[in-house]
Amino acid sequence: MPEGFATDSPRKRRAELSSAFGMLPGATCIIIAGANLLQHRLRLVAALAGVAVALFLLTLQISVLDAAKAKVTQLYDDFNFDLAAVPDTYQFLLNFETIDRVVLDQGRATGDISRAFGLNVDVVHWMQWPSKKLAYLFLIGLDDPGSFVRDPVISKGVTSLLSSNSLLMDAYSEPDIGPLDIGTRAKIGDEFETIAGHFKLGLFFYGEGSAIVRNTDFPRLTDRDSSKVSIALFQLRPGVSAQKAKRDLEAIVPEHTLVFTRDELLQQERDYFLSVRPVGIMIYISMLIACLVGTVIIVQVLSTEVANRMKEYAVLKAMGSSPAFVYGIGVTQSVLVGLGGLLPALMIGGVVLWYIQYRTHLETAVGFVLLGKMLAITFAASVCAAAAVLGRVQRADPAALY
Amino acid sequence: MNELGSLQFPLAGAARAAPVVVARNVDHAFDTGAARKQVLFDVDFTLERGEFVILTGPSGAGKTTLMTLIGALRSLQSGSIRVLDTELAGLRAAGQREIRRRIGFIFQDHNLFDALTSFQTLSLAMEVSGRRPPRSEVRRRAVSLLAMLGMEAYLDSKPRQMSTGQKQRIAIARALINEPPIIIADEPTASLDAETASLVIKLLRQLVEIGGASILMVTHDNRIFSAADRVMNMIDGRIAAPL
Amino acid sequence: MLPRIGLGLRLLLHNRLRLLIASASVAMGVVIVFVELGLLLGMLDAQALIANLVRGDLLIMNMARVNLHRWDKIDLVRLEQAAAVPGVARVTPLYEDHVGLRNPADKRVRRIILYAFPPDDIPFKLDNPAAISHALKISHGFLYDRLSRPIFGQFGVGDDIQIDTVPLRVDGYVSIGADIVNDGNILMSEGDWLARLPDSKPIMGLVHVKPGASVEAVRQRILQSLPPDVTVLTPEETAWRETLYTLRTAPVGLLFAIGMLAGLVIGTINCYQVLYNEITDHLRQFATLKAMGFSNHFLRRIIMGQAMVLSVAGFSTGLVFAWLADRYIAGQSMLPIGVGPASGVIVGCFTVLMCMTAGLIAIRRVAVADPAALY
């Protein structure tokens, strides 16, 4: 700068602003923090970009993991039950072993259970007609829905299946299944079936598509013994403890039958997916790495932003400013950068997650829960980063400035 | 062998011919519009070959601005400045660089790279023309110059191993290693003790008398005024009468 | 513009702790790219595992079997017909089915893939084929794939394990590997398998071409001789088909690709910030060089040299952590996930691209170095 020109220092601007508006210390913190950030705009943009990318990665991975966990239990989420009985070979929903239907009656006989419901699952060939192209179809068989089925579309759809050769088709089935229009005919085994309606699940883990039939038709399509069922679901009488009902049922069911509460069954599905299925493991570990890297980046960027002003904070301390004021500026600055990076992260993340949902039917779109999680993570990281750096100021000796 | 050792300055021994710097009607202002502030007003200035001129004056007088214009560190806005027979007005970046390569700049702060030894610093300075001289030549010139500055023992030292005064001497060596015909210095002795300051001024004087270099120095240290051929006073953007 | 690596390296090496932190900063992006790419390639390799493992010049399968996880079987007569085609030395039937293996510890039954074949003609490239052949011929047990997921439990040679409620002896171990869909494998002799399921059909036939015969010519002859309900592919074509199918249908592929892209952006931004700080810290020195007459081009070469150094340092650091991460993931998922030459080259190129891009953006800052501001 040429001689004689007074520098328009941030400190002078801050003093002017503060005195001009006569604001409370909290507002002064925000003004100072904002002025600090805006002084070097290119550096601010770089910091925001770094935080934004890290938060975008976190948003993506957290959303995908949550969506995957929800997807593996999605069919069960559509049922209203408290207990489930399954064969001891049961690993996850796609289970080919069965239990006797008598378990349903045994359940009702315990006195704890008000209603019982049989659920059948199997994988069959879906042969398009007349092309005879084959695909795998995850076939679901339901007893009379009653109060068991939460999804009104499925409930109404099953109830309205008038013909024994009609079924409901998952509208999210993959193109390999062929046309999904109502009235489309195709073969399952030797039987022609007609699509009479749709539902939306997108159970891509199990087959190229899925369909629902009545359990009265299920044995015919799968060569299943009609006295068998894949999973028995139970609703408890009001006031009955799930654990007690589970013990009572376990005491009377046949050998090779396991009983789970609803929570235990859903947790098992998630655990199996996350700890045994490689896709689940990969998604989970991707999320862990994103968390680790994302946190490091956010803390690094935010603490650098604060650390760049260390001398100024030290001067404030030497001038007698309270720790609350010093921390206030630093934390505010850190939070502003954090939130400033969160906004583009959510915007870009929202678009990408919408596209993932569109392609995969995983429920990844940004919602209030995800928004809340990301706000909490951002806020926590911002505060911790600033506090870690400013702790040095608090411990430093202001005499060391001279 | 003169006290400058093997250093040779291109204009050494030349008779007093055309001045190395001729500035005429130089105006300069900073910023535009309502914030515009004029700092130089119709300045005329000449630096003869082999002349040592000190520019002094109060803070804000325009000394630094004039110096940066002469050194082709800024573009000329108005007027004319001829440096070594090259007109600076309208000179493009490449032309400005060429002028700078013929000037040795000595700044108040040493601005040395912490990562480079003295030898590496001087070697880098010698690459300014784009040519990498042989290592032996670099070493010969570096040792000779550092010896004149009393710094031969620090040939392979990095700045953190030196005091502020010693770093400044290395910076001076960097400015002189290419034997520039013009030396522009800004408070070169500000960070030096009296003995070292005297050593540096003596060296600069020798560069003028024996090497034929021309020196323009800005300083407030009136102890070294006597070393100069001329002391110019600047006040409020104008050159006042010589002191 | 050739980077000036020597000077850039000196400037970075001057503060080794800072260089370490800078390397780690760039390495973060490298690790993400490595891991996501490793997951993608591991998934693809796993899905094509059997195709890469089979011994045979050609594979003959049911036309409907468009990927290796479909259960469309082929009639034995098709294999016999193929064996009669001129140029074919022999056709080895390979049977495949899923059976229930009861974990001896928790007694839970879990599905495992069973492969059955003639013991004299091992269809897979495995270690010690003679020992495998001997074990399957002598005993009526099975060989267990030690690379199966741990859900099946631990057992030793000689133990009796229930397979579909029938106790069978563990005769030894092989190393094949699990994939995205299947958790493990066991091997059995064709005779033992057909004794349990006489009507079982093979899943494919492995065609061995006579020495000197053209594989392609034999393939064409088979296709012309047999009805159009079969397809004949080389193992390489089968593996490639499997890779394409997985890429097309597996939604996680999209996630890994986006993750890689995010890693690249992170690495670029981190590298940019390091270079930006380097320039800012040395702004006065760069301005001095400009005053001395060095061009912006010279200074830019220094920065690009530093970008190159950071790419090497970041890649090396990232490689170590990625290797560790991949080992962990491979151990957990039992998939062939790891750092290999292909992924190393790909990520190396990406790292250089990342850092050079960061350098090209950062060098604009060098123009800010104003020699006039030194006064």
Phi first, then psi: give them for residue C255, nearest 5 degrees: -65, -45
Question: What does the pLDDT read at residue A320?
Answer: 75
pTM comes to 0.79
Question: What does the pLDDT read at residue C78?
Answer: 96
Token representation of residue C315: 């890649």
pLDDT of C40 strictly over 80: yes
What distance in Å separates the CA atoms of residue B42 and residue A23, rounded to the nearest whole number?
49
C88-113 average pLDDT score = 89
What distance in Å separates the CA atoms of residue A196 and residue B193, rounded to the nearest whole number?
99
Q: Read out DSSP for A340-374? A: HHHHHHHHHHHHHHHHHHHHH----S--HHHHHHH
> Is B238 strand, coil or helix?
strand
Phi first, then psi: give them for residue C201, nearest 5 degrees: -110, 150
**Pick from B64, B100, B116: CB nearest C291:** B100
Q: Which residue has the tokens 């002084």?
A: A39
Token representation of residue A176: 């390999």
Whether B165 and chain A come into contact, CB under 8 Å, resolves to no
pLDDT of C284 strictly over 50: yes
Residues of C with CB under 8 A from a CB of B: 7, 10-11, 13-14, 282, 284-285, 287-295, 371-372, 374-375
With contact defined as 3+ CB pairs under 8 Å, the chains touching C are A, B
- CB-based burial, A292-310: b 16+ in 10 Å, e otherwise: ebbbebbbbbbbbbbbbbe
Tell me the pairing of strands A166-170 and A209-214. antiparallel
Question: What does the pLDDT read at residue B14?
Answer: 47
Give strand ranges (E) for A129-208: 134-142, 166-170, 185-188, 191-199
A277-287 average pLDDT score = 83
Domain ranges for chain C: 5-47+251-374, 58-233
- CB-based burial, A270-283: b 16+ in 10 Å, e otherwise: bebbbebbbbbbbb
Tell me the pairing of strands B52-56 and B103-106. unpaired
> Is C211 strand, coil or helix?
coil
Question: What does the pLDDT read at residue B13?
Answer: 46
Using one digit for the tens of pLDDT, what is the confidence trace for A288-304?
A: 888 888 888 887 777 77
CA of B170 to nearest chain C CA: how many angstroms apart?
14
Which H helix or E strand runs over B22?
strand B21-30
Phi first, then psi: give them for residue A239, nearest 5 degrees: 90, -5
What distance in Å separates the CA atoms of residue A36 and residue A312, rounded to the nearest whole number?
10
What distance in Å separates the CA atoms of residue B236 and residue B156, rounded to the nearest whole number?
45
Q: Which residue has the tokens 């600069």?
A: B204
Q: What mean pLDDT, rounded, does chain C reach?
A: 89
> Is C52 strand, coil or helix?
helix
Q: Is-contact C193 C163, C-beta < 8 A?
A: no
What confidence category does residue A21 fall into, taking pLDDT thresholds of 50, 70 and 90? very low
What distance in Å separates the CA atoms of residue A298 and residue C229, rounded to the nearest whole number?
58
pLDDT of C276 strictly over 50: yes
What confidence category does residue A389 fall into, taking pLDDT thresholds of 50, 70 and 90? confident
Tell me the pairing of strands C230-233 and C88-102. unpaired
C80-106 average pLDDT score = 93
pLDDT of B4 strictly over 60: no
Which H helix or E strand runs over C136?
helix C129-138
Question: What does the pLDDT read at residue A22?
Answer: 46
Whether A147 and chain C come into contact, CB under 8 Å, resolves to no
Question: What does the pLDDT read at residue C257?
Answer: 86
Q: Read out DSSP for A35-88? A: HHHHHSHHHHHHHHHHHHHHHHHHHHHHHHHHHHHHHHTHHHHTB--SEEEEET
* Beta carbons within 8 Å of A82's beta carbon, 6+ residues apart: A234, A235, A236, A242, A245, A261, A262
Using one digit for the tens of pLDDT, what is the confidence trace for B121-163?
A: 998 888 887 777 888 888 999 999 899 888 999 999 999 999 9
Q: Is-contact C26 C271, C-beta < 8 A?
A: yes
Question: What does the pLDDT read at residue A5?
Answer: 32
Residue A116 β-bridge partners: A234
Using one digit for the tens of pLDDT, what is the confidence trace for A251-271?
A: 999 988 999 999 999 998 888
Angle at alpha carbon of residue B113, lines to B148 and B213, rounded to 5°: 40
Using one digit for the tens of pLDDT, what is the confidence trace for C141-187?
A: 999 999 998 889 998 999 999 888 788 999 999 999 888 878 899 99
Cβ contact (<8 Å) for C292 and B120? no
In three-state form (DSSP H/G/I as H, E/B as E, the rest C), the secondary structure along A178-193 is CCCCCCCEEEECCEEE
Which ipTM did the prediction report? 0.82
pLDDT of B9 strictly over 60: no
* Beta carbons within 8 Å of C118's beta carbon, 6+ residues apart: C92, C93, C189, C190
Distance of CA B102 to the CA centre of its chain: 10
Cβ contact (<8 Å) for C11 and B113? yes
> Is B187 strand, coil or helix?
coil
Tell me the pairing of strands A191-199 and A166-170. parallel
pLDDT of A364 strictly over 90: no
Residues 78-97 of A with CB under 8 A from C: 88-89, 91, 96-97
Question: What does the pLDDT read at residue B3?
Answer: 40
Cβ contact (<8 Å) for C294 and B128? yes
Using one digit for the tens of pLDDT, what is the confidence trace for A48-85?
A: 888 898 899 889 888 988 888 888 898 899 999 999 99
pLDDT of A399 strictly over 80: no
Residues of A in contact with C332 (CB under 8 A): 275, 281, 285
Cβ contact (<8 Å) for C332 and A279? no
Cβ contact (<8 Å) for A3 and B61? yes
Nearest to A48 by CA among C360, C273, C261, C356: C273
Angle at alpha carbon of residue B119, lines to B118 and B121, rounded to 5°: 65
What confidence category does residue A118 fall into, taking pLDDT thresholds of 50, 70 and 90? very high
What confidence category does residue A1 fall into, taking pLDDT thresholds of 50, 70 and 90? very low
Using one digit for the tens of pLDDT, what is the confidence trace for B196-211?
A: 888 888 888 888 888 8
Tell me the H-state helices in chain B.
Answer: 63-70, 93-101, 118-125, 135-148, 164-176, 194-209
Q: Chain C residue with minimal CA distance to A176? A: C249
Residues of B in contact with C10 (CB under 8 A): 115-116, 120
What distance in Å separates the CA atoms of residue A144 and residue B121, rounded to the nearest whole number?
88
What distance in Å separates the CA atoms of residue B167 and residue B192, rounded to the nearest whole number?
10
What percent of chain B has a predicted confidence (pLDDT) above 70?
92
Q: What mean pLDDT, rounded, does chain B reach?
A: 86
pLDDT of C375 strictly over 70: no
Using one digit for the tens of pLDDT, what is the confidence trace for C321-349?
A: 999 989 988 888 888 888 889 899 999 99
Using one digit for the tens of pLDDT, what is the confidence trace for B162-191?
A: 998 899 889 989 998 988 999 999 888 887
Q: For the ranges C13-27, C71-85, C193-207, which has the lowest average pLDDT?
A: C13-27
pLDDT of C3 strictly over 70: no
Using one digit for the tens of pLDDT, what is the confidence trace for B31-79?
A: 888 888 999 999 999 999 999 999 999 988 899 999 999 999 989 999 9
Tell me the pairing of strands B182-186 and B214-218. parallel
Question: What does the pLDDT read at residue C4?
Answer: 60
Better-predicted residue by pLDDT, A217 or A5: A217
What percent of chain A has a predicted confidence (pLDDT) above 90?
33
Interface test mutation site (partner A, options B55, B56, B64, B218, max chain A beta carbons within 10 A): B64
Q: Is-contact C271 C307, C-beta < 8 A?
A: yes
**Within 13 A of C323's CA, how many CA atoms are on the CB side?**
9
Residue type present at position A120? N
Which H helix or E strand runs over A157?
helix A152-159
pLDDT of B6 strictly over 50: no
pLDDT of A120 strictly over 80: yes
Cβ-based burial of A130 (10 A; exposed 0-12, middle 13-18, buried ≥19): exposed
Residues of B in contact with C371 (CB under 8 A): 68, 73, 100, 105
